[in-house]
Amino acid sequence: MENKLPKRSEVDVELTWKLEDIFASESEWEKALSEAKSLADELAGYAGKVAESAETLYKVLEIYEKDSLIMHKVYGYAFKSRDVDTTSTSAQTLYSKSMSAGVEISEKLAFLEPEIIAVDDATLEKFYGEKPELDKYKIYITEVRRGREHSLSPELEKLLAGTNELADLPYEGFATLGNADLKFPEITNEKGEKIQITNGRFVPLEESKDRRVRKEVFEKYYETFGSFKNTWATLYAGQVKQLMFYARARKYSSTLEAAVDGNNVSPEVYKNLVEAVNDNLDKMHRYVRLRKKLLELDELHMYDIYVPIVKDYDAKYTIDEAKELVLKAVEPLGTNYVNLIKKAFAERWIDVVENEGKRNGAYSSGVYGVHPFVLLNFNGTLDNVFTLAHEMGHAMHSYFSNEAQNFLDSRYRIFVAEVASTTNEVLLMEYMLKNAKDNKERAYLLNHYMDSFKGTVFRQTMFAEFEKTSNEMAESGEPLTHENLTELYLNLNKKYYGEAMISDDLIGYEWMRIPHFYYNFYVYQYATGFSAAVAIANRVLKEGETAVSDYMKFLSSGCTKDPVSLLRIAGVDMATKEPINSALQVFERVIEEMEELTK
C-alpha cells in the first residue's frame, strides 16, 4: 500500500491514452473553446426568432449541434487531462475554463428549448413538410417537447441555468470534507506496521485476514465520519432541498419523478426494483449465512463483509493477460466486436496504471467523432480484470451509438449505460468459470460473482431505498437530521443483511460516505442495468446469432427511443419485475453451487 507511485512523466507512453486524438495541442483546444463561445454568441442572436420559419429552426439546430459537439470535445479533453494528473496546474486551468464556459454558454442558450416547446404542433408538422432536412433533429425536438409541461418561460429558464453551480455546492462540500479535510487515524496492520486509514485504503484493509485489523479499521473509520455527523446531515439535507426546489420549479410531484423523468423512465420502474429486491431478500440472507459459515465465525459483523471467503487462493494478472481474457470472453458477440476491442488495445484508447495525482477508480468516456477513452488504475487483481471488461463494454456502447447516430441522437441515457458494461462482465464470468482449472479457482470465481450480485443488485437497491425514503421524509416536512438519517440507514442495513449479520451501530453512519447520494437518484440504475445484463448475456450464450443481432441494434440505437423501449430491442422488459427476479434466480444458483463446492 505504501509503494511510491510514478510521476505522470515516468509512465510508459504505451500505458497512457492518446488525448492528441481529440486535440493535437492545448492551442488547438483553445481555438475550439473560442469557436464554441462564438457559435453561442451567434445562436444568442436568434433569441425570439427560433420558430420564425422551418429554415430558421433548421439553421438554429445545426449551429446548436455544432456548438454542443465542440464543447463535448473541449470538456472531454480538459477533464481527461486533469484526471490523469490532478497536480498539473495547466490541466486544472483547462478544466476550470471549460466548466466556466459551459455555464456561460448554457445561460446564453437558455432561450432555445422554451422556444422549441412553444411551437404549436400544427406549425411544427408544417415545418417538417417544408424542410425535410429537419427530420435529422426530429428525435431531439420530440424529446425537448416531451418536457413541455415542466418547462418555464425563457427568463425563468435563464435564471434556473444560473443556479447550476449553486446546486453543486452540497456535493462540492461533501467531496471537500471527505477527500481533503477528513483526517483518519493510524492503525497497526497484521505485520505490526503503522498505516494511516484513507478512503482508498478502507476496503483493502477490510479485506485483511486479521480480524483485529478489520474491526479496528471499521470502528475508527466510521467514528471519524461520525465526528462530523451534523455537517454530513446539513450537506445531505442541502442536496435534497435543492432537488425539491428544482422539482417544484418544474411542476413535478416529487424529486423521484423529476429525476427519473430526465431519462424518460417511469417512477414505477424504480419502485418495481425496490419491491422485487425486497421480495428476494431471502437470497441475500442465504448468502450472508454462507459467508458466516465459510469464515467459521460465531458472529458475523459488518467488518467481515469484504474479507475473501475463499482461503489460500489469490490470483494475479498482468494487463496483457487481462486483455486476452476479455477478448476470449466476448467472442460470442462476434468478430466485429472482438476486433474493435483489439483496436482499442492497440491504439491507446486506455490509460492503464496508477500514477501520482491520477484520480482513483475507472470510467469510460466516449468522444463523438474520435473514439471512447477508458481510465483504469490496473494493479493485477481479479476485480481489475472485470473492471477492464466492464469499461470496454461502456466503450463499445459509445462506439456503436456514435457510429450509427448523429451527435444529438447518440447520447444514450444513463438508465441503459450500465447494461453493455455488465453484459461484458457476465460473459467474462461465464468464460472463466467454464475454463476454471480446479474447484479452488471455481470457488474463487463464484465468490466474485456472488459479491457482484451483493454489491450491485442488493447494496445499490438498499442505497436506492435510502434515497427514496429520505427524500419522502423531507417532502413530508420531516427535517433530515443525523439521528433520523442514521436510524433509517441502520434499519435498512438490518433488513437487507438479515439476522445472520450483526448490523453494528456504526454502520448506521455509512450514508455519510456515499457520493452517489449526491447524484440525484442514480444508483438504482446499477441494479436495473445489472439485471438486464444478466438476461442479455444468458440470451446471447443460449440463442447465439439472433440474440447478438438484437443486442447490436440496442448498442447502436443511442437515445432514439426511451430506455425501456431500447432494452426491449435486446429482449428485456424493465417495465416488469421479471428481469430482476430472473437475475436473482441466477444468484441463488450461484449460492447453491458454492454451498456444494464448500461442503
Q: What residues are labeled active site?
A: 391
What's the alpha-carbon Rg for the chain, to the nearest Å?
25
DSSP 146-177: HTGGG---HHHHHHHHTTHHHHTHHHHHHHHI
Torsion of CA 427, 430, 433, 436, to 10 degrees: -50
Assess contact for 250 and 114: CB atoms under 8 A: no
Interacting residues of 597 by C-beta distance below 8 A, sequence separation 6+:
439, 442, 443, 446
Beta strands in 376-498 (DSSP E): none
Instruction: Give CA–CA dist 450/510, Å, rounded.
Output: 22
Instruction: Give CA–CA dist 213/511, Å, rounded.
Output: 23
Residue (of 461, 521, 382, 376) closest to 83 by Cα position:
376
For 4, the grid coordinates are: 511510491
How distant, in Å, are the alpha carbons of 67, 68, 498 from that of 161? 17, 16, 45
How distant, in Å, are the alpha carbons of 11, 47, 183, 212, 396 from that of 323? 19, 51, 37, 37, 15
Instruction: Please provide residue 356's backbone torsions phi and psi, each rounded to the nearest 5 degrees.
Output: -55, 130
DSSP secondary structure code for residue 493 in this structure: H
Instruction: Give CA–CA dist 110/151, Å, rounded.
Output: 11
For 9, the grid coordinates are: 512523466
What is the distance, to the nearest Å, from the Cα of residue 262 to the centroid of all Cα atoms in its chain? 16
Percent helix, strand, coil in the chain, to 5, is 70, 5, 25
Residue with cell 428544482: 246
Interacting residues of 215 by C-beta distance below 8 A, sequence separation 6+:
301, 303
Instruction: Give CA–CA dist 218/311, Å, rounded.
Output: 21
Instruction: Give CA–CA dist 527/467, Å, rounded.
Output: 14
β-strand pairing of 300-301 with 501-502: parallel
- Within 13 Å of residue 59, how many CA atoms lie on the same side as its CB? 14
Instruction: Give CA–CA dist 275/102, Å, rounded.
Output: 39
Torsion of CA 51, 55, 57, 59, to 10 degrees: -140
23 burial via Cβ count (<10 Å: 0-12, 13-18, 19+): buried
